[in-house]
């Protein structure tokens, strides 16, 4: 490689010497250089000032300068240019001094002449060295600036741990100033950590750098400080490790945050209830200790773990923002848990908190069992007493005297009383345990009041009391349980009769308020002391009223029970009275608005369903051709019919909390099924249809059969809230028009045929099935169909072939076809078919999607 | 007044069974009682009742099991069965086969008697049970 051309400046007063040197340089081959010569210092300095000189060859003794001074001046002029000092024999000492002062080297002139390549080499070395020196100086300068300005504390120590470098950041971090710590042992290490410190230092000094070591040291004021230390060994030119340089970060705040986090995390970690977090795919991202212990196989089973079953629809409700929290009960093995699920919007994770409620459920069940046993144990001997006293009284054990009859009557009266008390007590317990759920339905006021009046008239007549009613015309229906309402009315009316003297009057008045129906039982009795009014509805409150039926007959619980029953319906009950004039006991019940009340009821039902197994269905049964039927047989007969249907339904349906039968719109009965899955609801629907259609009903003078249309909607499978439930039910109900469309299902799998047939028949389609193409054609020869559901993947003759054959045959080509195709099948093969474009559903499909498609296609066909 | 009909009353509550027996006897029926399912089956063989009044609430020997046995041995509905049940167990009725009628405890004696009469009327002319 060609070395760069050099420009040398020779400051030499002796021309001969100068010439010799020039020759010496020239002699050496392969060098491109330029030599400039001046013989005085002044000129030299001038020339240097102009720049461009790479090396200075300097004779110290010049006419205008001498010795060290010469060098000093030149060096000052061009500090960055290497200076080679040329000496004679006598001034070696001076020459040495110049090197100390910054000259690159010195050479004796004689030597130079003799060995000229040395000069060249010396020149080149000089330049190199100068360059290197410069670079080093620059680097050092940069480094020094960096260290000084660094926001990170930078400290360097020697092998003994004595501080050699302490930048301003270190001063700020720890409080000691540089002069305070330089050449002293590192002050920040507290006593108890000296050993560790030594160990760390030793490790670094062995050549092993460290990063991110976290320690707790101290500041000058004694305050502790958390540090993160990264340290590297420092080597000298001989590659011996002479110390260490470290960068120190104050992580006190971070450590504090970490500690706080750990503290908060420990709440979840130490919680005795399992807490689990799932990512959107259903895999576990967090498991606290309790969860790991109670569900050890959770991580490995992932989304298939039993307690995650059935969460799909829940999760989509949570993710859709329709819910923020979902609570349900789930049973795993022997334990029952209450699961609280909540959804984190940002990352789609699901939080599950499980509380073990096995004990609670156990206690609840024990209570129920106890109640049932007590009930049975109390009632049985009572029944026996009653039976035998009746047997005696009826003379079946021989004739009885008048006295005996009298006593028997007393016995029977008390047995009855005991019976009533037991009944009321049990009622009250049931209500208070929260186990009484009224079976609410649409109730008309008039028949109810009439029933009560008929029941109580004999008692009233006995006391020559007038029993009257005052009913507003056109009263709306109420949403209530008839038995319970009757119970309350009977209670109030019997009280009224009891406390009204002979010849008085008891009136039942019913009127309409804004959202309620108000019932008032007034009497012209002796009235109630205002002081007693507040305590009226308490348990065992026996009024200090004069009852002229011989001794307290009441159980003391009647009003307490009435109050609770009314309140269970969402109504209110109260009493007004004037001593001597009479009393009025009033209660309200919510009006029956098909829209609001029912929806409110459904909402509650759904909420309850969520807490348990998450299923809730409404089944709507509508009488086909209802209007015609009503026109033909009259509203009374139809009303009776509906009542009968309701009774059948009520008896068939599993009556648990939330099951209810409601009369809805024209001729429709809605059955609300709580806690029943879709499959279960389908089964019940089928059963009901069978039962109701399987018998005859008296319509006027004839016995007739009826035909039902049914619609079934299940939460959470098919609807997410009460609005959707009703809407979907309505759609389904009114979608079906006479006559029933006839569909042909062609699929080689028997299971699929059966499934589709059952599901579609419930939706009021007539279904024919075939297992393959040839069979289908046979069926079609026999009877026409409105639509064909065709599976593509069939052996022998596949769907495409069947389709083509259908379209080619003039008898069948107008029948619309819906293809059932799987994802990935080459449905594009069908593109380009002439005629109406094909319709299809993709497997696996939701039944609803298929139904929508079927309706769509049938509509299209009917519009052609 | 004896009308030639035998009724078997099956109830684990002896006293109630006895009370029913007294009532029914006063109407001219011949009554025999059993306090559990096993006894009941034995008595059907020996007494050949025309009607069985069966308490399905019996805890020890399940009343339903007894009914199933009867159905199995003698055929459904061969001997009319009237069952005694409770209001909250009514829904179970619809899964039972071979019952002629039911009465809810506590029941009115007259109601029971009327229903029994009705059952017999319906079965008028039917020959007594042939067993074996």
Residues A781-812 have pLDDT tens digits of 777 788 899 888 787 777 878 888 888 777 67
**DSSP state letter for A666:** T
Query: What Rg value do the Cα atoms of chain A yield, rounded?
Result: 52
> What pLDDT band is residue A819 in, cutting at 50, 70 and 90?
confident
The H or E element spanning position A604 is: helix A596-611
**Closest chain A residue to B16, measured at CA:** A384
From the list A128, A90, A134, A139, the residue with the least C-alpha distance to A110 is A90
User: Which of the pair, A436 or A195, is modelled with greater confidence?
Assistant: A195
Mean pLDDT of A665-685: 73
Q: What is the pLDDT of residue A283?
A: 78
Question: CB-CB: which of A379, A419, A654 is closest to B91?
Answer: A654
Handedness of CA A785, A789, A792, A797 (dihedral sign): negative
Task: Encode pLDDT of B108-122 as tens digits.
Answer: 888 899 889 888 888
**Closest chain A residue to B15, measured at CA:** A384
Which residues of chain A make contact with B23, given a CB cutoff of 8 A?
387, 391, 396
User: Which of the pair, A643 or A588, is modelled with greater confidence?
Assistant: A588
Q: What is the pLDDT of residue A735?
A: 56
Which residues of chain A make contact with B19, given a CB cutoff of 8 A?
384, 387-388, 391
Answer for the pair A54, A5: CB distance below 8 angstroms, yes or no.
no
Residue B110: CB atoms within 10 Å: 9
Mean pLDDT of A357-363: 86
Q: What is the pLDDT of residue A700?
A: 73
Q: What is the pLDDT of residue A243?
A: 92
Burial class (CB in 10 A: 0-12, 13-18, 19+), A806: buried
Angle between helices A635-652 and A678-693 (to 10 degrees): 140
- Determine phi and psi for A528, rounding to 5 degrees: -125, 135
Interface of A with B in 343-402 (CB under 8 A): 376, 379-380, 383-384, 386-388, 390-391, 394, 396-397
Q: Over pLDDT 90: what percentage of chain A?
A: 19
**Cα dihedral: A373, A375, A378, A383 (round 10):** -120
Give the integer Cα–Cα distance in Å for A756 and A847.
Answer: 9
CB contact under 8 A, B19 and A397: no
**Residue A824 region, left (φ>0) first, then alpha (ψ -120 to 50), else beta?**
left
Mean pLDDT of A152-176: 93
Task: Say whether pLDDT at A614 is over 50.
Answer: yes
CB contact under 8 A, A390 and B22: no
Q: What is the pLDDT of residue A316?
A: 65
Q: What is the pLDDT of residue B76?
A: 83
User: Which of the pair, A650 or A234, is modelled with greater confidence?
Assistant: A234
Q: What is the pLDDT of residue A392?
A: 93
Task: Say whether pLDDT at A545 is over 60.
Answer: no
Q: What is the pLDDT of residue A587?
A: 96
Q: Is B106 on the interface with A (CB under 8 A)?
A: yes
**How far from A396 is each of A383, A399, B21, B27, CA to CA, in Å?**
17, 8, 11, 10
Cα within 13 Å of Cα(A50), Cβ side:
8
Q: What's the complex ipTM?
A: 0.84
Answer for the pair A655, B91: CB distance below 8 angstroms, yes or no.
yes
Q: Is B91 on the interface with A (CB under 8 A)?
A: yes
Q: What is the pLDDT of residue A132?
A: 84
CB contact under 8 A, B15 and A384: yes
Handedness of CA A176, A179, A183, A184 (dihedral sign): negative
Question: CB-CB: which of A383, A388, A394 is closest to B106?
Answer: A383
Give the integer Cα–Cα distance in Å for A290 and A299.
Answer: 14
Best probe of the A interface among B19, B85, B95, by most A CBs < 10 A, is B19
Interface of B with A in 37-56 (CB under 8 A): none
Task: Say whether pLDDT at A562 is over 80.
Answer: yes
Give the integer Cα–Cα distance in Å for A749 and A795.
Answer: 10
Mean pLDDT of A542-568: 69
Which residues of chain B make contact with A412, given a CB cutoff of 8 A?
none
CB contact under 8 A, A397 and B22: yes
From the list A97, A102, A100, the residue with the least C-alpha distance to A74 is A102
Q: Is B90 on the interface with A (CB under 8 A)?
A: yes
Q: How far is B128 from chain A (nearest CA, A)?
A: 29
CB contact under 8 A, A652 and B94: yes
User: Which of the pair, A602 or A418, is modelled with greater confidence?
Assistant: A418
> What pLDDT band is residue A834 in, cutting at 50, 70 and 90?
very low
**Residue A658 region, left (φ>0) first, then alpha (ψ -120 to 50), else beta?**
left
The DSSP secondary structure of chain B, one letter per residue, reads ---S-EEEEE-S-HHHHHHHHHHHHHTT-EEEEESSHHHHHHHHHHH--SEEEEETT-TTTTHHHHHHHHHHHH-TTSS-EEEEE-GGGGGGGGG--S--EEEESS--HHHHHHHHHHHHHHTTTPPPP---
Mean pLDDT of A840-849: 77
Q: What is the pLDDT of residue A1?
A: 46
Q: What is the pLDDT of residue A28?
A: 63
Cβ contacts below 8 Å, chain A against chain B, sum to 42
Which residues of chain A make contact with B106, given a CB cutoff of 8 A?
379, 383, 386, 419
Which residues of chain A make contact with B90, given a CB cutoff of 8 A?
651
Q: What is the pLDDT of residue B97?
A: 74
Q: Is A652 on the interface with B (CB under 8 A)?
A: yes
Answer for the pair A506, A492: CB distance below 8 angstroms, yes or no.
no
Q: What is the pLDDT of residue A737?
A: 42
Task: Encode pLDDT of A199-235 as tens digits.
Answer: 999 999 998 889 999 999 999 998 999 999 999 999 8
Question: CB-CB: which of A379, A391, A655 is closest to B19?
Answer: A391
Cα within 13 Å of Cα(A680), Cβ side:
16
User: Which of the pair, A110 or B20, is modelled with greater confidence?
Assistant: B20
The DSSP secondary structure of A1-33, one letter per residue, reads -PPPPEEEEEE-S-HHHHHHHHHHHHHSTT--E
Q: Over pLDDT 70: what percentage of chain A?
A: 86
pTM of the model: 0.44
Query: What Rg value do the Cα atoms of chain B yield, rounded?
Result: 13
The DSSP secondary structure of A250-266, one letter per residue, reads E-HHHHHHHHHHHHHHH
The DSSP secondary structure of A415-453, one letter per residue, reads HHHHHHHHHHHHHHHHHHTT------EEE-HHHHHHHHH
Q: What is the pLDDT of residue A661?
A: 67
Q: Is A653 on the interface with B (CB under 8 A)?
A: yes
User: Which of the pair, A619 or B89, is modelled with greater confidence?
Assistant: A619
Answer for the pair A818, A748: CB distance below 8 angstroms, yes or no.
no
**Closest chain B residue to A372, measured at CA:** B88
Q: Is B94 on the interface with A (CB under 8 A)?
A: yes
From the list A238, A257, A243, A78, the residue with the least C-alpha distance to A156 is A243
Task: Say whether pLDDT at A864 is over 50.
Answer: no
**How far from A230 is each of A68, A153, A245, A254, CA to CA, in Å?**
48, 11, 9, 17
User: Which of the pair, A658 or A53, is modelled with greater confidence?
Assistant: A53
> What pLDDT band is residue B98 in, cutting at 50, 70 and 90?
confident
From the list B78, B82, B77, the residue with the least C-alpha distance to B112 is B82
Burial class (CB in 10 A: 0-12, 13-18, 19+), A261: exposed
The DSSP secondary structure of A281-294, one letter per residue, reads TS-EEEE-HHHHHH
Mean pLDDT over each residue of chain A, to the nearest integer: 81
Q: How far is A551 from chain B (nearest CA, A)?
A: 26
Q: What is the pLDDT of residue A835?
A: 42
Interface of B with A in 110-129 (CB under 8 A): none
Give the integer Cα–Cα distance in Å for A614 and B7.
Answer: 49
Task: Say whether pLDDT at A286 is over 80.
Answer: yes
Please work out, in degrees rounded to the nearest 5, the angle formed at the alpha carbon of residue A745 by the alpha carbons of A744 and A750. 140
The H or E element spanning position A96 is: helix A92-101
Burial class (CB in 10 A: 0-12, 13-18, 19+), A618: buried
Which of A269-273, A574-578, B90-94 is predicted least confidently? B90-94
Which residues of chain A make contact with B57, given a CB cutoff of 8 A?
376
Task: Encode pLDDT of A303-347 as tens digits.
Answer: 777 777 767 666 666 666 655 667 777 787 788 888 888 877 677
CB contact under 8 A, A652 and B19: no
> What pLDDT band is residue A18 in, cutting at 50, 70 and 90?
confident
Mean pLDDT of A43-55: 88
User: Which of the pair, A258 or A609, is modelled with greater confidence?
Assistant: A258
Collect all residues with Cβ–Cβ distance below 8 Å to B44 and sequence separation of at least 6. Answer: B8, B52, B70, B73, B74, B79, B131
């Amino acid at each position: 490689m060609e070395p760069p051309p050099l420009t040398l400046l020779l400051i030499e007063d002796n021309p001969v010497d100068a010439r010799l040197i020039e020759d010496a340089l020239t002699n050496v081959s392969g060098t491109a250089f330029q030599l400039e010569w001046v013989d005085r210092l002044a000129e030299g300095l001038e020339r240097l000032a102009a720049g461009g000189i790479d090396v200075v060859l300097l004779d110290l003794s010049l006419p205008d300068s001498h010795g060290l001074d010469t060098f000093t001046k030149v060096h000052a002029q061009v500090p960055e240019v290497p200076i080679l000092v040329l000496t004679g024999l006598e001034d070696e000492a001076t020459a040495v001094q110049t090197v100390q002062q910054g000259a690159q080297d010195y050479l004796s002139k004689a030597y130079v002449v003799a060995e000229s390549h040395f000069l060249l080499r010396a020149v080149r070395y000089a330049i190199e060295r100068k360059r290197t020196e410069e670079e080093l100086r620059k680097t050092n300068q940069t480094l020094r600036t960096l260290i000084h300005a660094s926001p990170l504390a930078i400290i360097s120590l020697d092998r003994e741990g004595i501080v050699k470098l302490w930048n301003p950041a270190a001063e700020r971090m720890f409080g000691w100033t540089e002069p305070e710590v330089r050449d002293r042992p590192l002050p920040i290490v507290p006593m108890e950590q000296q050993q560790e410190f030594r160990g760390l230092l030793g490790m670094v000094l062995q050549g092993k750098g460290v990063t991110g070591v976290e320690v707790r040291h101290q500041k000058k004021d004694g305050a502790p400080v958390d540090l993160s230390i990264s340290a590297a060994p420092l080597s000298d030119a001989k590659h011996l490790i002479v110390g260490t340089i470290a960068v120190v970060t104050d992580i006190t705040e971070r450590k504090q945050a970490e500690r706080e986090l750990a503290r908060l995390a420990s709440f979840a970690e130490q919680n005795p209830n399992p807490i689990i977090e799932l990512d959107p795919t259903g895999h576990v991202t967090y498991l606290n200790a309790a969860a790991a212990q109670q569900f050890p196989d959770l991580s490995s089973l992932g989304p298939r773990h039993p307690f995650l079953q059935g969460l799909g629809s829940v999760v989509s409700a949570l993710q859709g923002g329709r819910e923020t929290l979902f609570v349900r009960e789930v049973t795993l093995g022997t334990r029952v848990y209450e699961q609280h699920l909540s959804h984190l919007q940002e990352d789609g994770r699901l939080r599950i908190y499980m509380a073990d409620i096995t004990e609670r459920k156990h206690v609840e069940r024990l209570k129920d069992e106890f109640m049932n046993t007590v009930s049975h144990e109390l009632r049985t001997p009572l029944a026996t007493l009653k039976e035998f006293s009746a047997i005696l009284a009826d003379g079946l054990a021989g004739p009885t005297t008048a006295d005996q009859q009298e006593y028997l009557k007393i016995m029977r009266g008390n047995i009855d009383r005991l019976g009533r008390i037991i009944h009321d007590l049990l009622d009250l317990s049931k209500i208070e345990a929260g186990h009484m759920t009224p079976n609410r339905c649409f109730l008309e006021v008039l028949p109810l009041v009439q029933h009560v009046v008929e029941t109580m008239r004999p008692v009233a007549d006995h006391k020559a009391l007038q029993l009257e009613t005052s009913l507003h015309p056109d009263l709306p229906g109420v949403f209530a349980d008839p038995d319970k309402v009757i119970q309350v009315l009977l209670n109030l009316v019997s009280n009224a009769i009891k406390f009204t003297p002979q010849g008085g009057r008891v009136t039942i008045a019913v009127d309409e308020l804004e959202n309620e129906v108000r019932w008032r039982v007034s009497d012209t009795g002796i009235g109630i002391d205002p002081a007693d009014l507040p305590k009226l509805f308490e348990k065992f409150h026996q009024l200090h009223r004069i009852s002229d039926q011989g001794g307290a007959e009441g159980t003391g619980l009647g009003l307490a029970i009435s109050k609770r029953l009314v309140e269970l319906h969402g109504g209110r009950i109260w009493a007004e009275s004037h001593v001597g004039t009479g009393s009025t006991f009033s209660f309200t019940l919510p009006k029956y608005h098909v829209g609001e009340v029912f929806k409110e009821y459904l909402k509650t039902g759904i909420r309850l369903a969520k807490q348990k197994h998450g299923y809730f269905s409404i089944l709507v049964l509508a009488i086909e051709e209802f209007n015609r039927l009503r026109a033909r047989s009259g509203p009374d007969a139809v009303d009776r019919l509906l009542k009968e249907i309701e009774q059948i339904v009520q008896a068939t349906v599993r009556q648990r909390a939330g099951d209810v039968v409601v009369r809805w719109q024209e001729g429709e009965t809605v059955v609300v099924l709580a806690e029943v899955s879709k499959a279960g609801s389908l089964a019940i629907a089928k059963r009901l249809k069978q039962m109701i259609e399987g018998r005859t009903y008296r319509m006027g003078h004839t016995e007739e059969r009826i035909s039902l249309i049914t619609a079934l909607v299940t939460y959470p499978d098919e609807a997410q809230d009460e609005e959707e439930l009703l809407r979907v039910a309505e759609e389904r109900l009114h979608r079906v028009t006479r006559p029933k469309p006839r569909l042909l299902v062609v699929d080689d799998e028997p299971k699929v045929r059966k499934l589709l047939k059952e599901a579609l028949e419930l939706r009021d389609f007539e279904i024919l099935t075939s297992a393959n193409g040839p069979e289908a054609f046979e069926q079609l020869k026999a009877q026409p169909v409105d639509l064909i559901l065709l599976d593509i993947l069939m052996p022998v003759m596949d769907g495409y072939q069947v389709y083509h054959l259908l379209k080619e045959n003039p008898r069948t080509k107008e029948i619309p076809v819906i293809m059932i195709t799987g994802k990935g099948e080459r449905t594009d093969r069908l593109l380009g078919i002439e005629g109406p474009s094909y319709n299809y559903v993709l497997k696996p499909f939701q039944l609803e999607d298929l139904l929508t498609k079927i309706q769509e296609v049938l509509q299209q066909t009917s519009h052609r | 007044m004896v009308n030639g009909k035998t009724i078997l009353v099956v109830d684990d509550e002896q006293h109630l069974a006895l009370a029913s027996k007294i009532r029914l006897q006063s109407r001219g029926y011949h009554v025999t009682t059993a306090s559990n399912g096993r006894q009941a089956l034995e008595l059907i063989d020996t007494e050949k009742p025309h009607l069985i009044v069966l308490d399905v609430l019996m805890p020890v020997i399940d009343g339903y099991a007894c009914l199933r046995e009867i159905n199995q041995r003698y055929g459904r509905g061969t001997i009319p069965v009237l069952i005694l049940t409770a209001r909250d167990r009514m829904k179970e009725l619809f899964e039972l086969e071979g019952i002629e009628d039911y009465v809810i405890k506590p029941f009115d004696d007259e109601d029971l008697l009327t229903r029994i009469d009705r059952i017999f009327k319906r079965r008028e002319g039917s020959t007594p049970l042939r067993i074996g």
